[in-house]
Amino acid sequence: MISHPSRHCTVELHALPSRIGQVRRIVSAQLRYWHLDPLIDHAALGVTELLTNVHRHAQPDKLCTVEIELLLDRLTVSVHDHDPRLPEVRDVDPSSTSGRGLAMVAAVSESWGVRADGESGKVVWFTLPAAQPPVATPGRMRRRVTEKPGQRFADVEHGVDVRRAGHAAARSAVAG
């Protein structure tokens, strides 16, 4: 059973430097809420680079939408802006202080791309693998009865949420 097959979060903003930092914190908090802490650094770097591109290059305005979606085992982060021009990864001079954003997104992501969105702009996106640890299903417990000389115990093995450290299987003194 899949308890949360899809999770989705959307933020609209003007890509100004102060707002970019706020969105980075929102993305980080959302991934923490979804228990995807290992993805925070790469997702925050990627969304920062995409929003910086909107800030530096988008015309006619800096209005954009950031979407993060967890679908099964894949996190997709996308930024939609109103500029129909598609970005390109370009060769930059080693001494240049800019121009590496999309190359960094490509380096930290599983995949990335750009798609035109009709006359309303474009969407630049990247994906990260999001294999989640198994989560216990409350109604499904395995039961094993162990008999020891002079004692009978029923060990009930609860599915353990591995995100909680120190959580152990329960033991019961009731046999059967």
- Establish if 164 belongs to a structural domain: yes
Q: Are residues 84 and 149 in the same domain?
A: no
Q: Do 116 and 34 have their domain in common?
A: yes
Interhelix angle 101-108/40-57, rounded to 10 degrees, is: 160
pTM, two decimal places = 0.70
Please tell me the total count of domains within the chain. 2
**Do 13 and 84 share a domain, yes or no?**
yes
Same domain, residue pair 24 and 109: yes
Q: What is the CA radius of gyration of the chain?
A: 23
Please give the residue range of the domain that contains residue 162.
142-172
pLDDT in tens, the chain (176 residues): 445 556 999 999 999 999 999 999 999 999 999 999 999 999 999 999 999 999 999 988 999 999 999 998 999 999 999 999 998 887 878 877 777 889 999 999 999 999 998 888 999 999 999 975 555 445 444 444 444 455 444 444 444 443 444 444 444 344 44
The answer to the question of residue 137 being in a domain is: no
* CATH code for position 102: 3.30.565.10
Query: Angle of helix 17-33 relative to helix 40-57, nearest 10 degrees?
Result: 150
Rounded CA-CA distance 79/68 in Å is 9
Whether residue 98 is found in the same domain as residue 156:
no
Question: Would you say residue 135 lies in a domain?
Answer: no
Per the CB < 8 A criterion, the answer to whether 27 and 68 are in contact is yes
Q: Are residues 18 and 60 in the same domain?
A: yes
**108 and 153, same domain (yes or no):** no
